[in-house]
Amino acid sequence: MTGVAEGRVVIVTGAGRGLGRAHALAFAAEGAKVVVNDLGVGLDGASGVDSPAARVVEEIRAAGGEATDHAGDIATSEGAASLVATALTAYGRLDTLVNNAGFLRDRMLVNLDADDWDAVLRVHLTGHFLPLKHAAAHWRAEARAGRVPSARIVNTSSGAGLLGSVGQGNYSAAKAGIVALTLVAAAELGRYGVQVNAVAPAARTRMTEHTFAESMAAPDSGFDAMAPENVSPLVVWLGSAADTVTGRVFEAAGGRITVMEGWRPGPTADKGARWTPAEAGETARRLVAEAELPGTVYGAR
């Protein structure tokens, strides 16, 4: 039986562990050739000594699939360019990019220093932008040469990016930026045959062990709602040549898939002239009373 990703060449960043590993294995199981990227760092981004990407490649090959590893830093232009080049050199093409790499440096805002802010935005947000940019440049060149691709990008946001998360101002800002990047990329790249979507997953990984502490333990029997493998089927489908879906954000948790609906105009008032501060305040209070309540920030009481 042919898998939904049969013959596609797929890059997955941060694929040495957790969600990325689950995605890489799931793509391979559906017939894709996979470039497994992982820098091999710790949870806080500190340099590691092992090569988790190579281990995942061994798993894929042991199951009869095709894969190659890439250990470059995708938050640098050189590393992102070499990632795309690895796919093209190894397999002669690139069809799908799954941006997944990230780490945490959690602090309350008053304790969050500039280095921890910059480091998290660098890996999550810049680490999405640069691989996207280099992959998109390749696909644009293909389209201009008359070989319009059926290309896919799947970005990884988070509930923290949609609602915010106490103690994770840097992570929340980066993940919110990924949503905006997804919307812009979908609008700009569609003409080149590229569809771009994002997933906000909830699953058991190194990064979520504190966030989901009460529900981390896998059950003795039955469905494990927090297994990262639950998120991968949606990611694989979005990364395949499936129906036309682009510019969307999905939340995936356990057996639940939700299409997220973002910012859109709510209650409005137009005076047709400049407001006074008192008038603006009175109007704003009235509009807020008419509007739907926002979702609760994770960790707020």
pLDDT tens per residue, range 25-71: 999 999 999 999 998 765 544 555 567 999 999 999 999 999 999 99
Side-chain-facing half-sphere of 127: CA atoms under 13 Å: 29
Q: Report if residue 62 sits inside a domain.
A: yes
Q: Which of 53, 46, 48, 50 is nearest to 17 (CA)?
A: 53
- CA-based torsion, 232, 186, 156, 71: positive or negative: positive
Task: Based on the residue annotation, tell me whether 171 is a catalytic residue of this protein.
Answer: yes
pLDDT value, residue 282: 96
Backbone angles phi, psi at 256, to 5 degrees: -110, 135
Active site residue 158: yes
Active-site residue (options: 33, 157, 172, 175): 175
Burial class (CB in 10 A: 0-12, 13-18, 19+), 260: middle
Distance from C-alpha of 173 to C-alpha of 167, rounded to nearest angstrom = 12
Q: What is the pTM of this model?
A: 0.91
**Other beta carbons within 10 Å of 146:** 6
Q: Which residues of the chain fall below pLDDT 50?
A: 44-45, 208-216
In a domain, 222, yes or no: yes
In a domain, residue 275? The reply is no
Which pLDDT score, from 0 to 100, does residue 231 have? 95
Is residue 253 domain-resident?
yes
Number of domains in the chain: 1
Query: Which of the residues 91, 157, 165, 171 is marked catalytic?
Result: 171
Rounded distance between C-alpha atoms, residue 115 and residue 126, angstroms:
15
The predicted pLDDT at position 121 comes to: 97
Catalytic-role residue among 157, 158, 165, 240: 158
What is the side-by-side strand order in the sheet with 249-253?
Answer: 66-70, 33-37, 9-12, 96-98, 151-156, 194-202, 249-253, 256-259
Residue 101 in any domain: the answer is yes
Residue 218 CA to chain centroid, in angstroms?
Answer: 24
In a domain? residue 266: no
Q: Rounded to whole angstroms, how far apart are CA atoms 134 and 127?
A: 12
CATH number, domain at 138?
Answer: 3.40.50.720
Q: Which domain holds residue 29?
A: 9-259
Q: How far apart are CA 188 and CA 206, in angstroms?
A: 34
In a domain, 32, yes or no: yes
Q: Residue 222: what pLDDT?
A: 80
**Rounded distance, CA 273 to CA 290, Å?**
22
In the annotation, is 298 catalytic?
Answer: no
Is 55 within a domain?
A: yes
- Among residues 147, 144, 127, 176, which one has the least CA distance to residue 11? 127
